[in-house]
Amino acid sequence: MRDVTIADIERLRAEADGADAVFEMDEDTFRALYDRTSRALWAYLSRLTGPDAADDLLQETYYRFLRAQGRHESEAHRRNSLFRIATNLARDGWRRGVHAQMVPLPDGPRGELRADVDVAADAQRRSDLARAMLQLTPRERAMLWLAYAHGSSHRDIASTVGVKTASVKLLLFRARRKLAGVIRDGNRGTKAGRHED
Amino acid sequence: MKIECEREQDVLDALAAQRWPARCDDELRAHVSACGICADLVEVASALLEDHDTTYHDARVPPSGVVWWRAQLRAREEDARAAARPIAFIQGIAVSVAMWVVVTLLRAVPASTLAAWKEWMIGFVPHVSVPVPGIAQVTAAIPGSVLLVAGAALLLAPLAIYFAVAED
């Protein structure tokens, strides 16, 4: 997705001015929700599909959310809807053969260097994790991310990925064991490589 | 097979509060080193939490206003297309019916009348002599099966137009 300039915003605003509202949600409510959720949602999509696809899927997720005109009882319900839409979009991508990509090493503005982090080690860890995650099924990736990175409840995970709540515990256990095994194997391989050097 | 441990939440709390491993009690550390479930949990959850923090920090999402306006424009375009679908469908039906009416009328007109019409039209261009065949002869020469196929095509044309517009 290309960067948006102020001229683009003004053009879009001019084109949309004077038209009737097409969504049930008003702009201020949407913007507040977006500001609270977009980064977490992008991170989730990025881990499921790769950063490039995540850019497009983010816009698509919010569009479908707005179009759904659903009644949401709470902020948690809205978040849950967003993540469910995102998961379905990512799943459509998997069915079309769009697979997750490796997380790129920091370069350019997306991976701005942070002084308090060992950038090389950080990039190595993320790259190892990305490789390990690719050993999992898309549903396992989604469940693990929601459970441990996003902190979702089993009930929310169930509704987001479309499984029974009672199954979540077992599915998470299996996915966790699988990922832990791949990470440990990777760590052993890295250490063995260092010894050979 | 045991799939959960009662200390999982303690481990998750310690990881979320960044107390693991240095600032949590020895008893929990000892438990994790002895419990396969909690050891896997530490391995996976710590990696994912760290990755989440970095990805969240690095995320470059477009401004909310841009996402809002793009969504508005797209919704309006889709609404306009959706509204045009039935219009295209009706237009297709109207064209089909009109063509059927023309063909049926031409077939119903007696040959002598058609010949008279032909003479009358040729009278407007007296210096040009073109051998125009009788329309009744032309339509009568078309086999019934061809007319049936043409009729079916005319009936299906509106549906084809409808779906073509719907897929845009």
Q: Give chain B's radius of gyration (CA, Å).
A: 39
The CATH number of A118-197 is 1.10.10.10
How much is the ipTM here?
Answer: 0.77
CB A154 within 8 A of CB A168: yes
Cα nearest neighbour of A172 on chain B: B3
Res A196: pLDDT: 58
Q: What is the DSSP letter of A25?
A: S
Burial of A27 (0-12, 13-18, 19+ CB in 10 A): middle
CB A16 within 8 A of CB B42: no
Q: Which residues contact A102 (CB under 8 A, 6 or more apart)?
A: A50, A127, A130, A131, A134
Domain with CATH 1.10.1740 in chain A: 20-101
Question: What is the distance, to the nearest Å, from the Cα of residue A46 to the centroid of all Cα atoms in its chain?
Answer: 5
B168 vs A: CB within 8 A: no
* CATH architecture assigned to A20-101: Orthogonal Bundle (1.10)
**A156 to chain B, closest Cα gap in Å:** 17
Res A105: pLDDT: 43
Q: Which residues of A100-138 are buried (b: 16+ CB within 10 A; e: fewer)?
A: beebbebeeeebeeeeeeeeeebbebbebbbebbeebeb
**B54 to chain A, closest Cα gap in Å:** 9
Angstrom distance (rounded) from CA A157 to CA A92: 18
Tokens at A87, concatenated: 């998961």
| Most A CBs within 10 Å, among B48, B70, B76, B81, to test the A interface | B48
CB B57 within 8 A of CB B144: no
pTM: 0.69
Res A174: pLDDT: 95
Specify the range with the lowest mean pLDDT, choosing from A109-113, B25-29, B108-112: A109-113
Q: Span B99-117, mean pLDDT?
A: 83
Q: Which of B48, B65, B67 sits opposite A149 (nearest CB)?
A: B48
Angstrom distance (rounded) from CA B163 to CA B157: 10
**A53 to chain B, closest Cα gap in Å:** 13
Angstrom distance (rounded) from CA B168 to CA A74: 36
CB B78 within 8 A of CB A22: no
Domain with CATH 1.10.10.10 in chain A: 118-197
Angstrom distance (rounded) from CA B85 to CA B79: 10
Q: What is the DSSP letter of B23?
A: T
Tokens at B126, concatenated: 């007296």
pLDDT tens per residue, chain A (197 residues)?
555 566 666 665 555 554 456 788 889 999 999 999 999 999 999 988 888 889 989 999 999 999 987 778 788 889 999 999 999 999 887 766 655 554 444 444 444 445 555 677 778 888 888 889 989 999 999 999 999 999 999 999 999 999 999 999 999 999 999 999 999 887 776 666 655 55
Q: How many CA atoms lie within 13 A of B161 on its CB side?
A: 19
Res A108: pLDDT: 43
Cα nearest neighbour of B43 on chain A: A180
Q: Whose CA is closest to A62, among B53, B168, B70?
A: B70
CB A159 within 8 A of CB A80: yes
Q: Which residues of chain B lie closer than 8 angstroms to A132, CB-CB?
A: 47
Cα nearest neighbour of A66 on chain B: B71
Burial of A57 (0-12, 13-18, 19+ CB in 10 A): buried
Tokens at A103, concatenated: 């997380």
